[in-house]
Structure 1
Amino acid sequence: MIKSVPVMRIPAPSAEKQRTLAAIDMGTNSLHMVVVRIDPTLPTFTIIAREKETVRLGDREVKTGNLKPEIMKGAIASMQRFCEIATVLNAEQVVAVATSAVREAPNGKDFLKLLEKEVGVRVNLIPGQEEARRIYLGVLSGMDFNQEPHVIIDIGGGSTELILGDGHEPRSLSSTKVGAVRLTSEFVSTDPISSQEFKYLQAYIRGMMERPVEELQAHLKPGERPRLVGTSGTIETLAEIHARETLGTEPSVLTGYEMSLDDLRGIISRLRKMSEEERADVPGMSERRSEIIVAGALILQETMAMLGVESIAICERALREGTIVDWMLTHGLIEDRLRFQSSIRQRSTMKIARKYQVDLDSSERIAAFALSLFDQTRDRLHEWDLEARELLWTAAILHNCGVHVNHSSHHKHSYYLIRNSELLGYTETEIEIIANLARYHRKSAPKKKHDNYSNLPKQERKLVSQLSALLRLAVALDRRAIGAIAQVQCEYDQQKQEVYLKLQPTDPGDECALELWSLEQKKEVFEQEYEVKLVVELVKTPMGVR
């Protein structure tokens, strides 16, 4: 009998040679790239190159919120240069992610399509919580938590991430729309900043950070006093300024460097009285950081005060390094350390399934049928890889979650719930694919007049069309939700263009009439998509799946 089938992980390569990978973080303020050399035998990675360009994607058009043409042009040029460097360093792949600025811009996805056309690299949009998770992975790759609770704060140009974890699974992940570029653009018009604007900015930050701080504190155990770790440009710049003032020099390695809240307050007190030009001359101030440093520093000050911590330690690893770790996990290169993270997709899927009271017994049977059909038709009817298989599994588990809203048109409700749920481990595009697969498990086949489908790139539309056809058959196989079908076997006659679907019932006396009827109703979409004829047969004798 087919049981619930866990998603297969891509096996680690047998070759022990080192691998080179590039990761790019397209942030609101800057574009960053690291190129690393991965040793699969440890496994670990060494950074062999770092690149940065201050592009300011967050400086968007005021009225429309669109990314500005000249800034997009500059970003494309920077990405071209990054990719050329990655090529020179023999990187086997460039993994790129974009965050809040591109995520929120109405023309953000069009920009990414243009970038892929011009540069040849696909950039993944990641949701705020996924950004936080990858930051956590990045910090863990550079610091040992000794199983003690740590709070991580990452202040970017458009958002601030707060994470609570102890080296195992993160207890709390949040992403809030307060960032150094965003707040400077929206609330700072004076130079030096006026007392009135400073006080308003301070109050606004407190109001915005109140909920994520409270949510994080709710996950602390009695008596725990976590250490605070800070990452990314704003915090690193403040640490460099502090080091220049207290040590007279910049530390060779920032990771582990500590700064007190009192000292931070002193730095802010001086910076707020300076003009932008004067701040630019402060020792330790990085390129173009003087424009946004006051807002960014104030986010850190207020969050530290709300958390009740007196000092912060710096970590130089964050989102881009976390993207490297995530790639290593996805490709089976990490077996022991951070093992829990390798199943983040499955655990996140099951969490959402429970939230919407999905019938997991039925959904797991349907998921198993869907994966069995996928595997048996692979290299015969389709050529999708294991990553697509995993998307199909998630969609199969969640396809019926829309019933939680209303049984009528529940496939459309499923799309909405999946699209707006916090599916960790997936990019925006992958979540959109999963939601579309669930959307088309019944009723209408995918159509270009449907915005949710037509907005997908061409290759992703093909994936949705082909895999949703398999999901429809899988759903039909559990029509009564009692596990009536024990086993499914596919045979393909290429000459006749026919697919024979042989079904073995769990109970030899069960004629499975409802399942056969349901397959008859749903097979048309499958036949049209794959240009074959589907012939279904109930087989009472035992059979083996190829």
Structure 2
Amino acid sequence: MAKWSRSRLLYFMPGVEPLPFGVVDVEQEEARYVSAGQLRSERELRNVAAIDIGTNSTHLLVASVDPSLHTFSVDLAEKSTTRLGERDPDSGELTGPAMERVFETLKRFKELAASHQVEQVVASATSAVREASNGRDFLQRIQDQLGLEVDLLSGAEEARLIYLGVLSGMPFGECPHLLLDIGGGSTELILADGRDARALTSTRVGAVRLQRDFVKHEPIPPQRRSFLQTFIQGSLEPAVDKVCRRIKPGESPVMVATSGTAMAIGALLASEDDRPPLRLHGYRITRQQLDGLVEKLIAMTPEQRRIQTPINDRRAEIIVPGALILQTAMQMLSADELVLSERALREGLIVDWMLRHGLLEDRFSFQSSIRQRTVIHQVQRFAVNHRRAERVASHALSLYDHTHGVLHQDDGGGRDLLWASAMLHACGQHINLSAYHKHSWYLIRHGELLGYSEAEHLMVAAIARYHRRSLPKKRHLEWQALATREHRRLVAEMALLLRLAAAIDRRPEPVVAAIRVKSADDDQIVFELVPEGLNQNLSLEQWSLKSCASVVKEASGVTMKVVVKE
């Protein structure tokens, strides 16, 4: 049986996961996806790399920055567990073996970055280096021997960059957010909204630090657990007090957790779901779920935790103190739920680089239209005909606005999903014109749509999937992937509107100026096509739209009639 070459696919299509083994002939499908990857727009992209030297791990991120869209996409993410926080117990200095692990990792990361032709490597070091008396000497050695300048971040600067990173991938709207980043040596707590960071705090309590200083025997005895919780609470109290003082009366901030501990906890909980999410970005965790997981983890030995497949060996060693920090923070902040963000410090370094190079007017221009930017980025990435996509989207939104109560019952939430699907519905054509709606589903589903929740991402892909050919069927995997009956209803309604909008876009140049609802009731709807110019022949578009009548009847029970404005 032919097998997928995962690394080759990801090189050509960053962010797109391969299909399961054995589903199709690998050479044929790989060629298609390679072709789609090579159709990325010829626009000028600027490649930049970010390196984060943390207490537990060292990370590399390579990003393609699009100056015209003022956005970026992640092309490569690498991680090495370097354990720099394992400092000398007597002197507190960084140890020789730990520094050597980081040094070798940085050499490899620098070569990787160079292979992606980055114009700059932005590197930073956090708590392990800033607290060690020989930390600055280590950074000087890195600069002297590798030619890599590493910024030593203060706690407040680390918090600021985390804010920028989360801001780049999650819509804040008018609601304040509490951002919690649990690292190996420190925990950053930030209060922010879409306009400003109101409070930036950094506390010297982290998963590696607690494990090293206080966890000598496992499972952790009850007295030691009680001590740890009291210690964590006392350490976090000044930061919690600071952010709480800046929450305005009547506000209910959304809590966001990011980085290794939070992602590992999310992975463990998601693995128990009937339908595990493809990505953890946007995944929600209740305090009740977290409390239950903490009880399980704290009763285990490290060996028992290592067999929990979503987490690696090193994470299994430090996840209990990290989970206790997260649990205590939720209790202190009276948070009943949190949402996960995959973006944090490394992405913040990229946003900060863009700000310093004039590619963002300010950090909020990135935030204000994050959904639109990420969709347009995918339009360009898959070489979708932008003008035609905008025409279809315009027609689809017009239909949405004028068919409420007849063809759909949505009260507003579906409009943005319909727009995104309309812009991307034809992206699968660059893989194969035949059944391109199925390829569109795959590309949208496995691409990156920032600002959309996991459920919304699924719905955008499904609307594009069902805009042509047969209506949804229970046996379809794409239909089964939708979480609730309400989501399926919304997808069915929005896909019907997209089907009608796409049906009248049959020619390269526009001939239909507008599609109007001339009359509508529970039994019949009459559409009027308005031509772009005088004496414009719209017989093709009229026929194409009429061909949807049977599907409209089956889906909504409404009889459809099409006329052309004379």
Q: Does TM, normalized by the shorter one, top 0.5?
A: yes
Which of the numbers 283, 297, 319 marks the counterpart of 1:271? 297
Identity of aligned residues (%): 49
Distance 1:63 1:336 in 2: 45
State the partner residue of 1:33: 60
Counterpart contact for 1:16–1:40, Cα < 8 Å: no
Which of the numbers 169, 188, 193 marks the counterpart of 1:142? 169
Shift of residue 113 of structure 1? Answer: 0.9
Distance 2:366 2:289 in 1: 37
State the partner residue of 1:307: 333
Counterpart contact for 2:71–2:366, Cα < 8 Å: no
Shift of residue 283 of structure 1? Answer: 2.9
What secondary structure sits across from 1:32 in the alignment? strand
Instruction: Output the amino acid matched with 2:291.
Output: R
State the partner residue of 1:182: 209
Distance 2:63 2:274 in 1: 31
Counterpart contact for 2:164–2:363, Cα < 8 Å: no
State the partner residue of 2:355: 329
Instruction: Output the amino acid matched with 1:332.
Output: G
Shift of residue 246 of structure 1? Answer: 2.5
State the partner residue of 1:472: none
Shift of residue 210 of structure 1? Answer: 1.1
Distance 1:153 1:168 in 2: 18
Counterpart contact for 1:129–1:173, Cα < 8 Å: yes
Runs of 4+ aligned structure 1 residues displaced above 3 Å come to none
Distance 1:32 1:331 in 2: 23
1:18-167 to 2 correspondence within 5 Å? 18-167=45-194
Distance 2:194 2:184 in 1: 26
**Aligned CA distance change for structure 1 residues 46 and 123 (closer, same or farther; 3 Å):** same
Distance 1:324 1:337 in 2: 11
Shift of residue 82 of structure 1? Answer: 0.6
Distance 1:266 1:176 in 2: 26
Shift of residue 286 of structure 1? Answer: 2.9
Which of the numbers 220, 244, 249 marks the counterpart of 2:247? 220
1:492-511 to 2 correspondence within 5 Å? none
Q: Does 1:282 find its partner at 2:308? A: yes
Shift of residue 169 of structure 1? Answer: 1.2
Shift of residue 117 of structure 1? Answer: 2.0
State the partner residue of 2:17: none
Shift of residue 247 of structure 1? Answer: 3.3
Instruction: Output the amino acid matched with 1:185.
Output: R
Q: Does 1:262 find its partner at 2:293? A: no
State the partner residue of 2:265: 238
Counterpart contact for 2:191–2:243, Cα < 8 Å: yes
Instruction: Output the amino acid matched with 1:193.
Output: I
Instruction: Output the amino acid matched with 1:131.
Output: E
Distance 2:204 2:261 in 1: 16
Instruction: Output the amino acid matched with 2:85.
Output: G
What secondary structure sits across from 1:29 in the alignment? coil
State the partner residue of 2:418: none
Q: Does 1:316 find its partner at 2:342? A: yes
Normalised by the length of structure 1, the TM-score is 0.59
Deviations 1:347-376 (A, max 9, x none): xxxxxxxxxxxxxxxxxxxxxxxxxxxxxx
Counterpart contact for 1:159–1:177, Cα < 8 Å: yes
Distance 1:189 1:230 in 2: 27
Distance 2:274 2:204 in 1: 34
Deviations 1:304-363 (A, max 9, x none): 00000101100000001001100110111102552699xxxxxxxxxxxxxxxxxxxxxx
How many residue pairs are counted as aligned between the two chains? 326
**Aligned CA distance change for structure 1 residues 156 and 337 (closer, same or farther; 3 Å):** closer
RMSD between aligned residues: 1.5
**Aligned CA distance change for structure 1 residues 340 and 217 (closer, same or farther; 3 Å):** farther
Distance 2:295 2:273 in 1: 16
Distance 2:134 2:174 in 1: 43
State the partner residue of 2:383: none
Instruction: Output the amino acid matched with 2:290.
Output: L
Counterpart contact for 1:162–1:212, Cα < 8 Å: yes
Shift of residue 118 of structure 1? Answer: 2.3
Shift of residue 211 of structure 1? Answer: 1.2
Counterpart contact for 1:76–1:118, Cα < 8 Å: no
Counterpart contact for 1:150–1:165, Cα < 8 Å: yes
Counterpart contact for 1:169–1:340, Cα < 8 Å: no
1:374-393 to 2 correspondence within 5 Å? none
Counterpart contact for 2:182–2:261, Cα < 8 Å: yes
What secondary structure sits across from 1:91 in the alignment? coil
Counterpart contact for 1:168–1:340, Cα < 8 Å: no
Distance 1:195 1:271 in 2: 13
